[in-house]
């Protein structure tokens, strides 16, 4: 997945997209899968087009894969792609914070815990490449941005009904947009004459509002606004805050989890949660660690790993990725 909403490229074949950091994810999660043997369970919390799941199913015989996605189109696409693995693959329509319910729906008994979990956050290649979904600012399309097409809130509803203070807060908090106040005021003025209905109309407004000097640096001037609207429409950060502890709780001892984040807001949530579960809870002045207060997890990556130049050349959407991995070393 990715957080860049600018490029919309034609896929080479129905399933021709390149999953981000595919081999590195396998290197990090593979030891836990191999240790569990034929009873291994892998949860792909961001199924998308099924690229990561397909690789794991092919390279780890006997592996059971549970794929989660809130996008029904992604569920359909990945299920067709992985039809040959029907006995080992189960798709569940849910947000990634519904991991506990998804495991129940997939028939994973409570005592059979999960061995590996992957989060590839942001917007998926499928969603970006379907221009009519409104995620990309490079083409004119309806202001939609729903990851789950069955949900009610759209980007058009946000820009046309939210109060100016709420628009400013969303743009500033979720987009880290320094011109949030000016953009919010301009949106309210524009919609007083006519509703904003398309991405092209919003991009035109942003070009009018953001100073020319600022437009020449920091990427496309619509990038931060589109990110903020997408996060608001899909409740992404609230979902992630709930999903990270739920995923950590689902892992068996020795199990591993990997997170691919594409912007600082996501990475900050992941970093804090992993740090909290990787430190001792014993009082610092005690000479020994109290039973049950030791760290539950051990960090596998040192900080956040970035894509290599070779990876970026093969898949430009991997450029902003930050990858973190942790292993469960204690707990129930």
Give the strands of the sheet with 64-69, arranged side by side: 89-93, 64-69, 41-44, 114-120, 251-261, 322-328, 297-299
Residue-range domain boundaries for the chain:
22-126+236-328, 132-234
Q: Determine if residue 51 is labeled as part of a ligand binding site.
A: yes
- The verdict on whether residue 263 carries a ligand-binding annotation is no
Predicted pLDDT at 66: 96
Q: Which residue has the tokens 């990038």?
A: 223
* The pLDDT of residue 17: 62
In this prediction, residue 20 carries a pLDDT of 87
pLDDT number for residue 178: 94
Best CA proximity match to 203, nearest among 264, 265, 162, 155: 155
Residue 250: the pLDDT is 94
Domain 132-234 has CATH 3.40.50.150: no
Q: Is 174 one of the annotated binding-site residues?
A: no
69 is in an annotated binding site: yes
CB 278 within 8 A of CB 297: yes
Query: 22-126+236-328 adopts what CATH topology?
Result: Rossmann fold (3.40.50)
| Residues in the chain, total | 332
pLDDT of residue 10: 35
Ligand-binding site membership of 140 (annotated):
no
Pairing between β-strand 322-328 and β-strand 251-261 as defined by DSSP bridges: antiparallel
Q: What is the SS3 assignment for the chain?
A: CECCCCCCCCCCCCCCCCCCCHHHHHHHHHHHHHHHHHHCEEEECCCCCCHHHHHHHHHCCCCEEEEEECCHHHHHHHHHHCHHHCCCEEEEECCHHHHHHHHHHCCCCCCCCEEEEEEECCECHHHHHCHHHCCCCCCCCECCCCCCCCCCCCHHHHHHHCCHHHHHHHHHHHHCCCCHHHHHHHHHHHHHHCCCCEHHHHHHHHHHHCCHHHHCCCCCCCHHHHHHHHHHHHCHHHHHHHHHHHHHHHEEEEEEEEEEECCHHHHHHHHHHHHHHCCCCCCCCCCCCCCCCCCCEEECCCCCECCCHHHHHHCHHHCCCEEEEEEECCCC
> What pLDDT was estimated at residue 215?
81
Return d(Cα 134, Cα 201) in angstroms, integer.
12
Query: What pLDDT tens digit does each residue of the chain (332 aa) get?
Result: 666 554 433 333 455 567 889 999 999 999 999 999 988 999 999 999 999 999 999 999 999 999 999 999 999 999 999 999 988 999 999 999 999 989 988 888 554 589 999 999 987 766 666 777 888 888 899 999 999 989 999 999 999 999 999 999 999 999 999 999 999 999 999 999 999 999 999 999 999 999 988 887 777 899 999 999 999 999 999 999 999 999 999 999 999 999 999 999 999 999 999 999 998 766 666 666 666 667 999 999 999 999 999 999 988 888 999 999 999 999 86
CA pair distance 71, 79, nearest whole angstrom: 12
Report field, pTM of the whole predicted structure over 0.85: yes
Q: In the prediction, which pLDDT does 11 show?
A: 39
Give the pLDDT score at 106: 83
Q: Is 127 annotated as a binding residue?
A: yes
């Amino acid at each position: 997945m990715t957080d860049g909403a600018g490029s919309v490229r034609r896929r080479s074949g129905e399933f021709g997209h390149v999953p981000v950091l595919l081999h590195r994810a396998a290197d990090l999660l593979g030891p836990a899968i191999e240790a569990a043997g034929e009873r291994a369970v892998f949860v792909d919390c961001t199924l998308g087009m099924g690229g990561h799941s397909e690789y794991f199913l092919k390279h780890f015989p006997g592996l059971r894969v549970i794929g989660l996605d809130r996008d029904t189109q992604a569920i359909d696409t990945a299920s067709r792609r992985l039809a040959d693995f029907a006995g080992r693959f189960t798709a569940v329509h849910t947000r990634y914070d519904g991991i506990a319910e998804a495991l129940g729906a997939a028939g994973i008994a409570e005592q059979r815990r999960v061995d590996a979990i992957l989060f590839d956050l942001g917007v998926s290649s499928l969603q970006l490449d379907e221009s009519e979904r409104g995620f990309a600012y490079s083409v004119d399309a309806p202001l939609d941005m729903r990851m789950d097409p069955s949900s009610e809130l759209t980007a058009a509803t946000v820009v046309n009904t939210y109060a100016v203070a709420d628009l400013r807060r969303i743009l500033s908090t979720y987009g880290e947009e320094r011109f949030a106040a000016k953009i919010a005021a301009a949106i309210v003025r524009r919609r007083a004459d006519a509703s904003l209905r398309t991405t092209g109309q919003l991009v035109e407004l942003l070009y009018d509002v953001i100073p020319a000097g600022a437009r020449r640096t920091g990427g496309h001037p619509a990038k931060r606004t589109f990110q903020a609207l997408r996060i608001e429409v899909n409740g992404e950060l609230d979902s992630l805050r709930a999903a990270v502890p739920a995923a950590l709780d689902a892992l068996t001892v020795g199990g591993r989890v990997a997170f691919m984040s594409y912007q600082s807001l996501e990475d900050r949530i992941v970093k804090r949660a992993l740090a909290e579960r990787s430190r001792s809870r014993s009082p610092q002045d005690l000479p020994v660690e109290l039973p049950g207060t030791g760290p539950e997890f051990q960090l596998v990556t040192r900080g956040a790993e970035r894509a290599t130049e070779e990876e970026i050349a093969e898949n430009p959407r991997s450029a902003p990725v930050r990858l973190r991995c942790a292993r469960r070393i204690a707990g129930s």
